[in-house]
Structure 1
Amino acid sequence: MKPVEPFFRDTGAGPGIVCFHANASHSAQWRELQDDLAANFRVLALDSWGAGKSPPWPTDRVVTLSDEVALAEPVLATAGQPLILVGHSYGAAVALVAAAQNPDRVRAMALYEPTLFALLDAETPPPNAADAIREVVAKARLSLEAGDLDSAAERFIDYWMGAGAWEQIPSQRKPAISASVVNLPGWAHALLNEPTPLQAFSALELPVLYMVGKHSPASSRAVARLLIRALPNVECVEFEDLGHMGPITHPGPVNTAIMQFIERL
């Protein structure tokens, strides 16, 4: 049987950088960053399970963040080592787990709001800052069970981007987003049940750029509070005008921060 491999975009030449995208997105979200870095780096951006052109979300098992790391392994191997990991939201959580599992292969990380909600539950059992995203997932699940993908997508997008955000998305883009949210319960399970403890990230001595948006939801900002305190070699950047989806809505300032961080390594 042929091994399952992800689709990935491969640009440039030089030391390797691997980019992980957010939920309801795909590798193309990093296209501008790839173009910006291609003169000096080989930049690979992959599609995660069920995203873009990668294999569909498995139905025969519960997918974990470790499964996402395993899917990415051919891309990580192609990038060589030591490499730099870039990630946003769910993708940033995958990058963190990848680094914790094999720190020797990672030179540095640039992360925009990893959504490792399991860290919040480990610190303080519910009720806690993850309750709002749990509620969104529960309501979206009901919409999915009723076959109403648009309603599920609206709940998801409005949580992360603000009330009314779904209505502002161009109609031609909505079908792809709606189709992707069938994986929402799986994403939530992976993030809320990730077993890697906070102490594992405390052992990562590598440089980390941790980016947050001032207007992001309490859940991702609460995760940031824990990780920024735990990571031993972290530089934090807060974007005054951005929210959780900053790398997609305003790639310019986010990509500039990432490039400046990489230049200082």
Structure 2
Amino acid sequence: MQILSPFFREAGAGPGVVCLHSNASSSSQWRGLMDRLAPQFHVLAADSFGAGKSPTWPTDRKVALRDEVALLEPVLALAGDPMVLVGHSYGAAIALVAAIVHPQRVRALALYEPTLFAVLDAETPPPNAADGIRSAVAGAGAALDQGNPSEAARCFIDYWMGAGAWKHTPDARKGPIEGSMVNVRNWARALLTEPTPLAAFAAMRVPVLYMTGKKSPDSSLGVARLLKRTLPDVQVVEFDSLGHMGPVTHPEIVNDAICRFLKSLS
């Protein structure tokens, strides 16, 4: 079996911090945070399957979040134990599963709206708060089937950032986002079928910074509702002016909160 390795960025020296990006993004979204943390931490930011320069999604099996954790193993090894995991959206969901898989290796978690939609379906079968993302993925998938990646990107980006967001996305960013849409059904399947039960997160004995934006969609806020009351050692920060893509649209605000959290651990 071919051994796959992710692309990752690396900076600094000190305790390990691993940063995991959102869907339709890449490790580059963490460059500002890496610059801020590098004087005190060994910071690594990795590309997930099909993102940036990492391997494409395997076609011989249905990839789950634990496969994403396995892909990250070389990065986790370089970070050293125990490490802090920082994640946004899909990356935050991977971070949560990594903490379940490797409980002794994770020191703390800083999460911005993990999109672990499976916990919503486990609580209440559809219709529920995950219906909005299901609809967006269906629309994006239909557009891809018609050979229209731009329309697929519009369905996805406008869901997360509000109607008209794709139209106002800078042209330089549109190409990579359109290219990432080939993975949209894979992302959704991994997040909607993740088998880890909500109760498993009640056993996590690490501090968690859980960040949300008040302007975010019901799906990610629904996941937040469940996880915030389940995680035993959680510090909640809600940003009144931000939405789900806060770490991308307003990185300085989110990075400030992450830096304060990491300082509190020392």
Same-fold status (TM-score > 0.5): yes
Query: Which one-letter code corresponds to 1:6 in the other structure?
Result: P
Aligned: 1:196 with 2:219: no
TM-score, structure 1 length as denominator? 0.99
Question: For 1:203, what is the secondary structure of its paired residue?
Answer: coil
- Once residues 263 and 136 of structure 2 are traced to their aligned partners in structure 1, the CA distance between those partners, rounded to angstroms, is 39
Q: Distance in 2 between matches of 1:116 and 1:3?
A: 27
- Deviation, 1:56, is 1.1
1:242 equivalent in alignment to 2:227: no
Query: CA RMSD for the aligned pairs?
Result: 0.8
C-alpha distance after superposition, 1:131-188 (max 9, x if no partner): 1111111111111111110000000000000000000111122111000011000000
Gaps of 5+ in 1: none
What does 1:57-206 correspond to in 2, within 5 Å? Answer: 57-206=57-206
Letter in 2 for 1:198: L
Structure 1 residues 65-109: Cα deviation after superposition (integer angstroms, max 9, x where no partner): 011000001100110000000000000000000001111100000
**Structure 2: tracts of 5 or more residues without a match:** none
Tell me, in whole angstroms, the C-alpha distance in 1 between the residues paired with 2:212 and 2:200. Answer: 21
Cα distance in 2, alignment partners of residues 254 and 187 from structure 1: 24
Aligned to 2:28: 28
User: Separation in 1 of the partners of 2:102 and 2:7?
Assistant: 22
Q: Distance in 2 between matches of 1:58 and 1:179?
A: 17
User: How many corresponding residue pairs?
Assistant: 265
Q: Provide the rounded CA distance (Å) in 1 between the counterparts of 2:172 and 2:10.
A: 27
The ranges of structure 1 where at least 4 consecutive aligned residues each deviate by more than 3 angstroms after the TM superposition are: none
Counterpart of 2:80 in structure 1: which amino acid?
G
Q: Deviations over 1:2-42 (max 9, x none)?
A: 62100000000000000000000000100000000001100
| TM-score between the two structures when normalised by the length of structure 2 | 0.98
Report the counterpart of residue 10 of structure 1 in structure 2.
Answer: 10
Give the structure 2 partner of residue 257 of structure 1: 257
How far does the alpha carbon of each residue in 1:182-237 deviate from its partner, in whole angstroms, 9 at most, with x for none? Answer: 10000000000000001111100100000000000010000000000000000000
Q: Distance in 2 between matches of 1:214 and 1:14?
A: 34
Instruction: Return the alpha-carbon distance in structure 2 between the equivalents of residues 207 and 57 of structure 1.
Output: 32
Counterpart Cα distance in 2 of 1:64 and 1:20 = 16
